Structure 1
């Protein structure tokens, strides 16, 4: 199949025309080929993607165990939108635009913390943890009504301890995935976990290159020796490359998990398998993604009694994937920062009562994925540099080794076109 339109200009002239040009280009582009150059490098295309995906779809932002008590909060920026996720005075997880209703200053200025009230540092406007304005001072006059100036809410959902937000007023319905995620994460009891350690890498690459790299293990044998100490690259017995030995191993492990009440069956939701969960064994004789394959934490998570749970792989497009094992869980979060710059955060999560230096060693816990993340950053950045060349043109994906990438491009193209169409009809 040829891609004769690979150098086609999108002719950006206005926001609306820009979005329509993007939709038109995607409609003509085959999902079995990498995207036209502008989709990996152009600032205007990137802005359309932010508006149509990251400002509309559900995004993974954290774990309930990170905000265990009333007043605990975490913050992040989604494009130009600072967000605060907080546990309110009644214990409910809420999300707000981190923007004071007075003159717009950011309120929470640190990444994570705990407060009795939300107080704007500029003029001390004070909000209850549920976002209601409590104090604005007598300077606002007798006609000022505090009830009109609560913080702007952000749609927020908790599923199995994972926290998601959507900046849309009417976000996409993915309740089926939320229900499944709640069921599959139940054994881990993420309300009673903690982040043992986390890392953040800034990658000089488009966010889609980061996701594409994650969605295939075609590159693993040549680039990830630490990861392949434990990881089996197949995540489905229907994979055409899966061996009979692998299928037999899966059957034996599934029988064990079934007996212990541990969910494992493959479930997926949405176009292009945007959300999927599956538990797969690790390499025979290993139980965790550590350099020696042994448990990285002696205290297992939640109600889990057996460390040999393989890896439960969770995918949520557009911005997260996870590996959940018996002893710890690793959650990855992707936030685009620019057309060729992406933030990738990794959190290693353990039981809240696990003691560092006794139950786990941080260096051992993070060794494999620290190495893998740096290797992946190099791969994505080299990919970006090559795509920026005038010689680049879309190349074909392998429908066997890179079927996960094809699924991602399918989801991306479908979602962009659908959301752009809906925006045009609304306007």
Structure 2
């Protein structure tokens, strides 16, 4: 109760707070009096939401409780509660939407709850969080994430454990990979760990894939980054459960820790990328895990991706830039992202779908 975090989405300051009933609420972080922000810290805990400007006070469910004695007899406090933001939760994740009519994501959230059950996210903590500023448009950051065509020449640390393929249906997948997946799936079945590929249009996807044989976590040596495993998990060799949520999040969920990435547009050519490493709440730093060791792979990979995105941005700023073709085998994930984004933009503009998009299942979840 009273725990909160703040976000900035475009020009909109947002407040997410746990209410008196334990439910997660979200509001525009704007006082209904003169518009000042209520909570200015990135996170914290409060008994009530109090505006520092004139002390207007709100309950954690957004109701205005106090506005002083100077507002006049005709002032109706019931009309000046905080403006709500659509919010839903599933599997330890919080989803908010500023849209008047938010996307329908219930089917995805139901699947996410099921797939996250083994991790017991209510009993986890953030071991460390990093923020990286990239001088590139957010779509370039996402496009770079949606393919591993560049991995061989750019990510030596990541490829110590990561298998590039997303599924056995990947056009590059060979028989050895398919056999590795089948053996891993049998072990996951024995432990009742969900793993089957679940897609919801082009926007949301969940799939568990094994890591390289002999490795169990995304660390430089492939060994566990945290000795205390997540939730009810007994076997650390769970590969990586990959969760994609366009337009701005991807995740790797392993047996010992989870990595959550989020992309936040700052301006037309600036993007903030946050990375969180999540472990069991009872894991002890220096005993069960070493923060520097756990973050080595993705610190390196994130910075390598930053340089790639920034050089990409510098290049396409040229008047000579003309988009080239995508690889059908390596860059289908980029094509999916571009198709999803293009479809949403055309829909928001009230325009007809482009001919090549007609019949494409984009699912607006």
The Cα offsets for residues 356-412 of structure 1, whole Å up to 9 and x where unpaired, read as 111110001111000000000000000000000111011111011100000000101
Name the counterpart of 1:346.
275
The Cα offsets for residues 278-330 of structure 1, whole Å up to 9 and x where unpaired, read as 00000000000011111101111111111100000000000100000000000
For residue 250 of structure 2, the aligned residue among 299, 321, 327 is: 321
Name the counterpart of 2:89.
158
Question: How far apart, in 2, do the equivalents of 1:319 and 1:286 lie?
Answer: 28
Name the counterpart of 2:225.
296
Match of 2:231, SS state, is coil
Name the counterpart of 1:257.
188
How many residues align? The count is 351
C-alpha displacement of 1:420: 1.9
Name the counterpart of 1:21.
none
C-alpha displacement of 1:240: 1.4
Question: How far apart, in 2, do the equivalents of 1:105 and 1:380 lie?
Answer: 36
For residue 320 of structure 2, the aligned residue among 376, 385, 391 is: 391
For residue 128 of structure 2, the aligned residue among 177, 186, 197 is: 197
Question: How far apart, in 1, do the equivalents of 2:218 and 2:52 lie?
Answer: 43
C-alpha displacement of 1:337: 0.6
For residue 149 of structure 1, the aligned residue among 80, 83, 87 is: 80
Question: How far apart, in 1, do the equivalents of 2:194 and 2:259 lie?
Answer: 18
Question: How far apart, in 1, do the equivalents of 2:122 and 2:86 lie?
Answer: 20
C-alpha displacement of 1:232: 0.3
C-alpha displacement of 1:183: 0.8
| Mapped pair 1:219 → 2:158 | no
| Mapped pair 1:357 → 2:286 | yes
Question: How far apart, in 2, do the equivalents of 1:177 and 1:395 lie?
Answer: 33
Question: How far apart, in 1, do the equivalents of 2:100 and 2:288 lie?
Answer: 44
For residue 342 of structure 2, the aligned residue among 409, 413, 418 is: 413
The Cα offsets for residues 143-164 of structure 1, whole Å up to 9 and x where unpaired, read as 2111111000000000111100
| Mapped pair 1:169 → 2:89 | no
Question: How far apart, in 1, do the equivalents of 2:190 and 2:350 lie?
Answer: 48
Name the counterpart of 1:130.
61
For residue 19 of structure 2, the aligned residue among 82, 88, 110 is: 88
| Mapped pair 1:229 → 2:160 | yes
Name structure 2 gaps, 5 residues minimum.
352-365
Equivalent residue runs for 1:28-67 within 5 Å: none
Question: How far apart, in 2, do the equivalents of 1:370 and 1:349 lie?
Answer: 15
Report the TM-score when normalising by structure 2: 0.95
Question: How far apart, in 1, do the equivalents of 2:120 and 2:273 lie?
Answer: 25
Question: How far apart, in 2, do the equivalents of 1:179 and 1:304 lie?
Answer: 21
Higher relative contact order (CA 8 A, sep 6+): 1
The Cα offsets for residues 102-132 of structure 1, whole Å up to 9 and x where unpaired, read as 0100111010111111111111111111111
Question: How far apart, in 1, do the equivalents of 2:293 and 2:58 lie?
Answer: 42
For residue 178 of structure 2, the aligned residue among 247, 250, 253 is: 247
Report the TM-score when normalising by structure 1: 0.81
C-alpha displacement of 1:265: 0.1
RMSD of Structure 2 on Structure 1 (CA): 0.8
Question: How far apart, in 1, do the equivalents of 2:220 and 2:315 lie?
Answer: 32
Name the counterpart of 2:330.
401
Q: Which has the higher helix share?
A: 1
